[in-house]
């Protein structure tokens, strides 16, 4: 199977889960991009986000696996305890190097490697969180020709991450939650 031609990245931490859930619940049954999500989670605690969402949404929500091809019309979550990178051949790579911004998986690591592989076919959205992870990654996505969006700090449960990203990314569009959800509703 051929890899997805376009990817949509979502990065979030504290306070982002409910908005992520609303976004993927609003998706049409078929869309051409792949959606890849990094949410900061502690590998010491077993979470069943993918399994729970698969049942709730009645569609596959997958854990990104090392060397797997990134396929269209799929939703992937980064594995807890590993950085998730995108290889030039549009496959996943899991990495256990040092945390970035106190996080592994790091939003910056995914955004930067995805921008290198997908250039202008990459869209990145940064949500609520309590550190500055994602700020540098958004800059790189924009530099490589991709589109970047940041959740309005006024609507984020934890505004630190969006505020940092806004300060470091003058070209980003700032979206309210309803605009972010609408973006996913309209995917083709």
| pLDDT average per 10 residues of sequence, the chain (188 residues) | 96 96 96 97 76 89 97 96 97 96 95 98 97 97 98 98 97 97 97
**Extents of the domains making up the chain:** 7-185
CATH of the domain spanning 7-185: 3.40.50.180
How much is the pLDDT for 48? 83
CA distances from 17 to 4, 20, 96, 127 (A): 25, 5, 24, 9
| Residue 174 tokens, joined | 């700032």
* Owner of token pair 């592994």: 104
What pLDDT was estimated at residue 49?
86
pLDDT of residue 1: 85
Q: Which residues are catalytic?
A: 13, 40, 133
pTM to 2 decimal places? 0.96
d(CA 185, CA 68): 26
Q: What are the φ/ψ torsions at residue 36 (nearest 5 degrees)?
A: -125, 125
Instruction: Spell out the alpha helix ranges (H) of the chain.
Output: 17-25, 49-57, 107-118, 135-143, 160-168, 177-185
Closest CA relative to residue 66, chosen from 79, 51, 53 = 79
Residue 153: per-residue pLDDT: 98
């Amino acid at each position: 199977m051929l890899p997805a031609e376009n990817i949509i990245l979502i990065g979030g931490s504290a306070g982002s889960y409910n908005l992520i859930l609303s976004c993927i619940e609003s998706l049409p049954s078929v869309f051409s991009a792949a959606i890849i999500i990094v949410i900061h989670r502690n590998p010491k605690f077993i979470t069943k986000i993918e399994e729970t969402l698969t049942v709730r949404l009645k569609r596959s929500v997958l854990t990104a696996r090392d060397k797997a091809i990134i396929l269209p019309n799929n939703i992937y979550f980064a594995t807890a305890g590993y950085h998730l990178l995108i290889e030039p051949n549009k496959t996943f790579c899991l990495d256990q190097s040092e945390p970035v911004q106190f996080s592994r998986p790091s939003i910056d690591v995914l955004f930067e490697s995805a921008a290198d592989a997908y250039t202008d076919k990459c869209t990145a959205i940064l949500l609520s969180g309590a550190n500055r992870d994602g700020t540098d990654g958004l800059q790189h996505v924009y530099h490589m020709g991709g589109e970047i969006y940041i959740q309005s700090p006024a609507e984020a449960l934890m505004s630190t991450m969006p505020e940092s990203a806004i300060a470091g990314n003058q070209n980003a569009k700032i979206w309210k939650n309803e605009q972010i959800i609408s973006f996913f509703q309209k995917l083709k």
